Amino acid sequence: NAGVMQNPRHLVRRRGQEARLRCSPMKGHSHVYWYRQLPEEGLKFMVYLQKENIIDESGMPKERFSAEFPKEGPSILRIQQVVRGDSAAYFCASSPGLAGGWRETQYFGPGTRLLVL
């Protein structure tokens, strides 16, 4: 069973460019979560998506950040006009979407390390 896959694993962007981070959930999982981790810190919730729906984006910065989880294909976290402060590790997690909520285990991907020069 393939786990949660994220690509790229490392991404370097210059200030002002766009960053696109991809997440393929585990097979059969329909719920996706994105988290951001700054060096030496815990993970911060960004957004929770189900197929074609954003359920909660309360952790997303109001500008430049967007996320989608289309009917087909991976979930995408998009950061426009990146700034140095966006440098971090971005983790995606998925869950089956059967039991619902915190009763479900979230399985994490290996993360994408974004470096903004």
- Are the CB atoms for 109 and 93 separated by under 8 Å? yes
Residue 26 to residues 6, 58, 97, Cα–Cα distance (Å):
11, 24, 12
Binding residues for other proteins, total number by CB under 8 A? 26
**Is the CB of 4 or the CB of 116 nearer to other proteins?**
4
Residue 17 to residues 34, 36, 60, Cα–Cα distance (Å):
21, 19, 19
| Interaction of residue 108 with other proteins, rule CB under 8 A | yes
* Runs of H (alpha helix) within 1-117: none
| Dihedral sign, Cα of residue 51, residue 57, residue 59, residue 60 | positive
Q: How far is the CB of 23 from other proteins (least distance, A)?
A: 11
Q: How far is the CB of 71 from other proteins (least distance, A)?
A: 21
> Which positions from 30 through 89 interact with other proteins, judged by CB under 8 A?
31, 35, 40-45, 48, 55-56
**Is the CB of 99 or the CB of 117 nearer to other proteins?**
99
Q: How far is the CB of 32 from other proteins (least distance, A)?
A: 11
